[in-house]
Amino acid sequence: MITVKHRRYVPYAHAHYAGNLVDGAYSLGLFGDVATEVCIQLDGDEGLFASYDDVQFKAPVQAGDVLEVAATVVKMGTRSRKIEFSSTVVCRGSGGSSAAVLDEPIVAVTATGTVVVPPKA
């Protein structure tokens, strides 16, 4: 139906654990950002996130990474939109100032969720 993608550099200030690991909530926050754009494009309103149906943490996200976050609408109700999300590492930081573009991106987090928008006037 519609897919929205954002790319985001993960700053070292977000490293939360040893090895420069970033907490899983970081990707969930980015899912909210792409869901907002989905609602704006489809409905002209930011909408509200209602729920997650499934969240899976598949690989670590580290400070210095570049993430590509995607939201694809898979079902539309009158006011609800079911969305599939993915957060994929496309560049991996080295722990210093260098990083590498990955030949094979790493899917770090997936989820499905539901957003709702106001009724049409």
Q: For the whole model, what pTM was predicted? A: 0.93
Q: In the prediction, which pLDDT does 94 show?
A: 84
Q: In the prediction, which pLDDT does 110 show?
A: 98
Per-residue pLDDT tens digits of the chain, which is 121 residues long: 899 999 999 999 999 888 899 999 999 999 999 999 999 999 999 999 999 999 999 999 999 999 999 999 999 999 999 999 999 999 998 877 889 999 999 999 999 999 999 998 7
Contact residues for 117 (Cβ-Cβ < 8 A; gap 6+): 39, 42, 43, 45, 47, 48, 79, 80, 81
Q: In the prediction, which pLDDT does 120 show?
A: 82
Tokens standing for 9?
A: 């550099």
**Are the C-beta atoms of residues 36 and 49 closer than 8 Å to each other?**
no
Q: In the prediction, which pLDDT does 98 show?
A: 87
Q: In the prediction, which pLDDT does 106 show?
A: 98
Fold annotation for 3-116 = Thiol Ester Dehydrase; Chain A (3.10.129)
Q: In the prediction, which pLDDT does 97 show?
A: 82
